[in-house]
């Protein structure tokens, strides 16, 4: 099943896919052990920095072989690319989905670049995600507001032909200094005017009940990245302080398990018993 089909099915059933960033073999394994044990589908995401770190061929082959090994239904997605060339490279490498993020550019530039990506992705049958509004990235101010306007969302989807739209409704990337409050009424208004699959970025740190309410109002893809990095490194550093062990095969498993436990918790929030129907 294509990701486009799965996302539309999830949205119709008021369910959501969890989209998880991985950074190395260990975080990938932790994610897929969780998805496998809960028999839940998952999206594996790579950013440019992770691709640069692992290299594109290695990252793709590792993700595909790990999905097969764990017998998990999953898709490979390029997260937050601002480059048409990187999108093209990832599509050639077999990605199921790509995100072109021109949300910080003027709206007409965002539309024009997104249209180019959609035209390219159609040749591969790939899902295309774009962003409209301001969702603070790591290092950017979370005080700035730039929520997605429903009427702009409608016209943006119509003009670009995207499959999925990342909306700005109060979430942010990275850690929150105070508990985030999503503008759920705005989300309902956006959902009412577009058939695009709606995506929530900055899923780390948002309360489970708020995520579930967002799903009920149209979100069908929730991104999780910061918490994965954080729990892995927190566990690893804690263990290294207590041990002089140098065997990586003994050092990494507790951190992998910490990722697995985290992803299980998130899957429990978003899972729907009917997703396979």
The answer to whether 223 is a known ligand-binding residue is: yes
The answer to whether 170 is a known ligand-binding residue is: no
Concerning whether 195 is annotated as a catalytic residue, the answer is: no
The answer to whether 127 is a known ligand-binding residue is: no
Q: Among 193, 104, 148, 125, which residue's Cα sits nearest to residue 113?
A: 104
Residues 113-128, buried b or exposed e (16+ Cβ, 10 A)?
A: bbbebbebbeebebbb
Token pair belonging to 171: 């979430």
The one catalytic residue among 52, 79, 85, 96 = 79
Q: How many CB atoms lie within 10 A of CB 109?
A: 11
The answer to whether 191 is a known ligand-binding residue is: no
The answer to whether 132 is a known ligand-binding residue is: no
Q: Among 188, 158, 161, 197, which residue's Cα sits nearest to residue 6?
A: 197
The answer to whether 70 is a known ligand-binding residue is: no
Q: What are phi and psi of 51, to 5 degrees?
A: -65, -45
The answer to whether 101 is a known ligand-binding residue is: yes
Q: Among 102, 122, 31, which residue's Cα sits nearest to residue 72?
A: 31
The answer to whether 187 is a known ligand-binding residue is: no
Give the pairing type, strands 197-200 and 219-224: parallel
Token pair belonging to 59: 């990252």
* Interhelix angle 208-216/253-270, nearest 10 degrees: 40
Contact of 224 with 18, CB cutoff 8 Å: yes
The answer to whether 80 is a known ligand-binding residue is: yes
Q: Among 248, 196, 240, which residue's Cα sits nearest to residue 218?
A: 196
Residue ranges at the known binding site for dihydroxyacetone phosphate: 174, 202-204, 223-226
Residue ranges at the known binding site: 80, 101, 131, 173-174, 201-204, 223-226
Residue ranges at the known binding site for Zn(2+): 80, 101, 131, 173, 201
Q: What residues are labeled active site?
A: 79
């Amino acid at each position: 099943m294509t990701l486009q089909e799965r996302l539309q099915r999830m949205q119709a059933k008021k369910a959501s896919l969890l989209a998880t960033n991985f950074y190395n073999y260990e975080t990938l394994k932790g994610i897929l052990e969780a998805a496998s044990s809960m028999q839940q589908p998952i999206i594996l995401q790579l950013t440019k920095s992770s691709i640069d770190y692992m290299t594109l061929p290695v990252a793709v082959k590792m993700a595909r072989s790990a999905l097969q090994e764990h017998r998990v239904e999953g898709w490979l997605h390029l997260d937050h690319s601002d480059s048409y060339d990187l999108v093209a490279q990832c599509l050639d490498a077999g990605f199921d989905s790509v995100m072109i993020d021109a949300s910080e550019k003027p709206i007409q530039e965002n539309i024009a670049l997104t249209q180019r990506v959609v035209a390219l992705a159609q040749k591969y049958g790939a899902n295309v995600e774009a962003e409209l509004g301001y969702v603070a990235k790591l290092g950017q101010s979370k005080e700035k507001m730039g929520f997605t306007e429903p009427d702009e969302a409608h016209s943006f989807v119509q003009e670009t032909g995207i499959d999925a739209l990342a909306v700005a409704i109060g979430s942010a990337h990275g850690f929150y200094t105070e508990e985030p409050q999503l503008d759920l009424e705005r989300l309902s208004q956006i959902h009412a005017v577009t058939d695009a699959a709606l995506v929530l970025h900055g899923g780390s740190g948002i309360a489970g009940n708020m995520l579930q309410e967002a799903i009920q109002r149209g979100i069908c893809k929730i991104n999780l990245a910061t918490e994965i990095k954080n729990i892995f490194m927190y566990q690893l550093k804690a263990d290294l302080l207590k041990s002089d062990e140098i065997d990586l095969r003994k050092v990494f498993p507790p951190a992998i398990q910490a990722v697995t436990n985290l992803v299980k918790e998130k899957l429990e929030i978003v899972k729907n018993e009917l997703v396979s129907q």
